[in-house]
Amino acid sequence: MRSSLRFIGLGMLICAGAVVAVQQTPAPQNPKEQAWSVLNNGLTNSNTDKRTRAVRELGLLIGNQEAKDAAVIALKDPKPEVRAAAAQALGEMDARSAKPQLLAAFNDDDPAVILAAAHSLVVLGDNRGYGVFYAVLTGEQKTGTSLTEEQKKLLHDPKKLASLGFQAGLGFVPFASMGLSAFKVLTKDDTSPVLAAAALTLAKDPDPKSGQALADAATQQKKWLVRAAAYEAIAKRGDPTLKGAAVSGLQDEQDEVQYAAAAAVIRLSDMEARPRTTRRSAPAKKSQ
């Protein structure tokens, strides 16, 4: 009898323990909550590469306030790779409210962060971002930009620029028809990719100073990749006043530069041939 009672009591304890275990098991997360849990683990990971990758993925979350807040926080990360990824992500997610934070990133001590912030500002329609790329290409500061002399030196320091590398620092820059093959032949200490990126970005800068900077780079730069990029930018810019510089590129010693210059000459010639204004016919009078 006693053994039977002990058995029953043991069974009740087991059942009670099972109930407690069930009660302590957290409710299953829905897929979105689970996804944020995974992403947040990456955002707070002690491994810099994993943290950088997670921050980069925030750029896919357009219009998501939580993602925008996370990217802004990442702008203060101790590692420049993470800060650059955060600046890039803010542009990709169209976070226009983050313009002040991106402008503040111009004070960063790492050129990759400054370039990423400038590029995102351009993407967000803020022309102040072009000043950084102008400084990179020309070594000079635009009037009215917020760049300090120290930052200008930083962005035009060959060793600093070379340290960026194509994959690490300029993955956000569209190199268009120049293609990745042009960069595979470059050594790691070459500043050409950074300067070429700056030239291509200035294609859409409305400031006439940038147009002149592109003409100077196309005709005076020693590195052929930069000259080719400058001619591509001139073609995209669509300013017929730069046609003279493009024509001179037809005699360049490098074939790739000649091709880019030729495209620029053809496009600008076509634009010159178009009528400046299209007359509209007067509306027909209504019959009385």
More confident residue, 4 or 269: 269
Which of 128, 70, 131, 132 minimizes the C-alpha distance to 95?
A: 70
pTM of the model: 0.74
- Token representation of residue 143: 């009037």
State residue 158's pLDDT score: 64
Position 70 pLDDT exceeds 80: yes
> How many angstroms separate the CA atoms of 233 and 173, rounded?
13
Name the phi and psi angles at 77, rounded to 5. Answer: -60, 145
Q: pLDDT tens across 12-26, in order? A: 544 445 444 445 556
Q: For residue 129, give the DSSP letter.
A: G
User: How many helices (H) does the chain have, and how many strands (E)?
Assistant: 17, 0
Question: Average pLDDT in the 61-79 region?
Answer: 94
Q: Hey, what amino acid is at 95?
A: A
Report whether 229 contacts 256 (CB < 8 A).
Answer: no
Mean of all residue pLDDT scores within the chain: 78
Q: pLDDT tens across 213-261, in order? A: 999 999 999 988 899 999 999 999 999 999 999 999 999 999 889 999 9
